[in-house]
Structure 1
Amino acid sequence: MTSTSTPPGLARFNELEEHAALAALHEACASTAWARRLLAARPYATPEALYTASDAAMAELSTADLAQAMAGHPPIGRPKPGDPTSAREQSGMAGAGDGLKAEMLELNLAYQERFGHVFLICATGRSGEEMRDAVRERIGNPPEREREIVRTELGKINRIRLARLVEEDA
């Protein structure tokens, strides 16, 4: 039984069958290693404990695990069709003009060619121009530096998605 001080959404997550909890975690992050680490540490007393575990798991991901996590993210400006999460997170590009959208497509392709994966940024609350400026700035990074920036951005995205998971109504 969970403590009465545990928020209801977190209590529900703690009580999910393993397969259902794993599926919920995969909605937040496509890395199996990350999801398994979080699953193994249940139950969580507070949302902050879950976020801290997420950050720790993210810090431990191998290059292959990071690649798996990134593979779950569509390019900026092209959310997955029928995926309300990516559409909501990339809403800053929704109202962008055709010129900005075309520029983002070109920058995304150049970034992907340079680094071998999609440009990843925590897009929540960012405008299309801010995302464009970020890819312009980051495309010149050395691969090792960019990998650590991606790890940080994934951590931010995971926290937002986990908050949504544990704050959801039944």
Structure 2
Amino acid sequence: MYPSVFLTTSGRGGPAHPTPLERFNAAPARTAEAALLTCCRSRRWAGRLAAHRPYPDLDALLAAADEASYDLSSAEIADALACETPPRPAADTPPAAHTALRAAHAAYESRFGHAFVICLDGVAPGEQLDQVLAGIRFRLGNEPDEERAVAADELRRLARGRLARTVHEVHFDQGGATEGPDSPSVAV
């Protein structure tokens, strides 16, 4: 039997299984914050989103995530960026592409002091490597202040995509959050 906090009505008068968002809304604050930290490594961002639950729908949650991202200080963005890792190419990527990608990442990190971040949501897997390389090449021409703003926006977009996936793929319960059997990594 489900705890009563997890029961909802299906609109037909009887109980139904809770939706992923209802489970997220009902999860203990520490559980929600831990899951949110996998989306963006800012404690203030995660704490703010967890504290403002319940969210009526995913759009409201994503809007709150955007607002919390825009409110992060430069230091908080720098801390979150420091926890990011560069997107990894597919396993079947040729060695020369791995070398080119490592060199591009090294040049970017040397110039800006943090990992290159780019949101690849909606980009076909076969086009992601080209998108990353083109993004690095283009953004290397940015001034440091301009690139901080671009990186912060990419971080916001990454967090938004990760959040949508996390709410749908992580099983929230009274004891904690666990990934579902088909949950992909949320590293990129």
* Equivalence map 1:156-167=2 (5 Å): 156-167=157-168
Of 154-163 and 51-60, more deviation after overlay is shown by 154-163
Which deviations, in whole Å up to 9, do the C-alpha atoms of 1:23-56 show, x marking residues without a partner?
Answer: 0111111111111111121111100011000000
Please identify which structure carries the higher helix content.
1
1:80 is aligned to none
Cα 1:168–1:75 shift into 2, 3 Å = closer
Quick one: distance in 2 between partners of 1:94 and 1:145?
Answer: 33
1:104 is aligned to 101
What is the DSSP-based 3-state SS (H/G/I as helix, E as strand, rest coil) of the residue aligned with 1:43? coil
Amino acid at match of 1:147: R
1:15 pairs with 2:26: yes
Count of residue pairs brought into register by the alignment: 156
1:68 is aligned to 79
1:84 is aligned to none
1:44 pairs with 2:45: no
CA-atom RMSD, angstroms? 2.1
Quick one: distance in 1 between partners of 2:169 and 2:95?
Answer: 35
After TM superposition, the score normalised by the length of structure 1 is 0.83
Amino acid at match of 1:149: V
Amino acid at match of 2:136: V
Cα 1:110–1:169 shift into 2, 3 Å = closer
Identical counterparts, % of pairs: 38
How far apart are residue 76 of structure 1 and its match? 2.9
Quick one: distance in 2 between partners of 1:169 and 1:60?
Answer: 26
* Equivalence map 1:21-32=2 (5 Å): 21-32=32-43
Q: What are structure 2's unaligned runs of at least 5 residues?
A: 11-17, 172-188
* Equivalence map 1:116-155=2 (5 Å): 116-124=113-121, 125=123, 126-155=127-156
The structure with the largest alpha-carbon Rg is 2
Q: Runs ≥4 in structure 1, deviation > 4 angstroms?
A: 1-5
What is the DSSP-based 3-state SS (H/G/I as helix, E as strand, rest coil) of the residue aligned with 1:74? coil
